């Protein structure tokens, strides 16, 4: 019997969606052929876009302002028309409103001929404003491992699971994501490099939109920022800082380090948890 083939296209700013994409791929590989591709590599022309090679196409993204980042919609525009089954997976720092509606992304894919039959949310550590306790980070990762396994099983078996998006959530997503798309370039222009910058070009190489450029001995930031935070958290000498948006950035962010630390237990929330994090437990057990 011929194995099904799955193509996973994803965008990840600081690594959460990338972690989930590879968790899904690991599960798919047990009974299917899988290829994992970064959306930015497609847009930059590094990787040729070939969805026709797959039986099922997956698109993954981090939630920005209750919607997909602008770069994801740019990717969908480049998709060739085709009659393909597709699934969506998204990551969010909070289960609030299930990460926002999927209607806009789904409808764009449908216009291209893709039939979206499955949608899933995986909550991962927040990378802005509030730093999660290490034990919560580990617990969210452990939950993602289990949920990714169930998602892969459901997708390969053809289970239909579409998120129900009410009109209010769609209006809010349209409004807030519109503001985010307009505001993100200003966040990028607000960034500066400190004298500790050693001109290693890590930020230039890793910018998903090529908006960071080295000019002689200076790093400059253009107007193409999508507020992914990657340049800030991945700088090896911690030299990139915002001027006005300092409150937005965490002092430290390294999810993989916490995942790899066997001494950190994933037991932050339980059935007895009250207050803000109660809904995290509800998400974990659903």
The pLDDT assigned to 162 comes to 94
Side-chain half-sphere exposure of 129, counting CA atoms within 13 A: 3
**pLDDT over 70 at 1, yes or no:** no
pTM reported for the whole predicted model: 0.91
Instruction: Read off the pLDDT of residues 148-185 as tens digits, 9 standing for 90 and up.
Output: 999 999 999 999 999 998 899 888 888 888 888 888 88
Rounded CA separation 286/281 (Å): 9
Residue ranges of domains in the chain, CATH in brackets: 4-168 (3.40.50.360), 178-253 (3.30.70.20)
The pLDDT assigned to 48 comes to 87
Check if the beta carbon of residue 171 is closer than 8 Å to that of residue 97: no
**DSSP state letter for 124:** -
**Interior angle at CA 92, CA 62 and CA 16, nearest 5:** 60
Instruction: Read off the pLDDT of residues 206-260 as tens digits, 9 standing for 90 and up.
Output: 999 999 999 888 999 999 999 999 999 999 999 998 888 878 788 888 888 888 8
**Interior angle at CA 161, CA 145 and CA 13, nearest 5:** 50
**DSSP state letter for 248:** G
Rounded CA separation 23/151 (Å): 10
Instruction: Read off the pLDDT of residues 188-207 as tens digits, 9 standing for 90 and up.
Output: 888 989 899 999 999 999 99
**DSSP state letter for 186:** H
Average pLDDT for 25-49: 93
Instruction: Read off the pLDDT of residues 11-31 as tens digits, 9 standing for 90 and up.
Output: 999 899 999 999 999 999 999
Average pLDDT for 116-142: 91
Q: Which residues pair with residue 242 across a beta bridge?
A: 191
Instruction: Read off the pLDDT of residues 73-126 as tens digits, 9 standing for 90 and up.
Output: 999 999 998 889 999 999 998 888 788 899 999 999 999 999 999 999 999 998
Rounded CA separation 117/246 (Å): 40
The pLDDT assigned to 50 comes to 86
Percent of the chain with pLDDT over 90: 55
């Amino acid at each position: 019997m011929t194995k099904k083939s799955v193509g996973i296209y994803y965008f990840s700013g600081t690594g959460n969606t990338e972690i989930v994409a590879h968790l899904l791929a690991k599960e798919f590989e047990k009974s299917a052929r899988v290829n994992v591709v970064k959306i930015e590599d497609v847009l930059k022309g590094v990787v040729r876009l070939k969805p026709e090679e797959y039986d099922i196409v997956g698109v993954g993204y981090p939630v920005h302002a209750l919607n997909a980042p602008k770069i994801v919609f740019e990717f969908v525009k480049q998709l060739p028309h085709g009659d393909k089954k597709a699934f969506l997976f998204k990551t969010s720092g909070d289960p609030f409103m299930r990460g926002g509606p999927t209607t806009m992304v789904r409808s764009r894919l449908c216009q291209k001929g893709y039939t979206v039959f499955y949608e899933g949310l995986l909550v991962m550590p927040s990378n802005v404003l509030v730093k999660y306790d290490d034990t919560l980070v580990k617990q969210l990762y452990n939950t993602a491992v289990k949920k990714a396994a169930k998602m892969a099983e459901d997708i390969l078996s053809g289970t239909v699971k579409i998120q129900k998006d009410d009109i209010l959530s769609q209006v809010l997503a349209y409004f807030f994501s519109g503001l985010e798309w307009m505001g993100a370039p200003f966040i990028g222009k607000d960034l500066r490099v400190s004298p500790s910058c050693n001109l290693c070009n890590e930020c230039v190489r890793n910018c998903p939109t090529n908006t960071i450029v080295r000019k002689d001995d200076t790093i400059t930031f253009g107007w193409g920022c999508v507020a992914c935070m990657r340049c800030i958290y991945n700088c090896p000498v911690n030299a990139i800082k915002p001027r006005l948006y300092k409150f937005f950035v965490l002092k430290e962010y390294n999810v993989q380090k916490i995942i790899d630390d066997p001494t950190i237990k994933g037991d932050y929330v339980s059935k007895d948890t009250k207050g803000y994090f109660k809904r995290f437990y509800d998400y974990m057990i659903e």
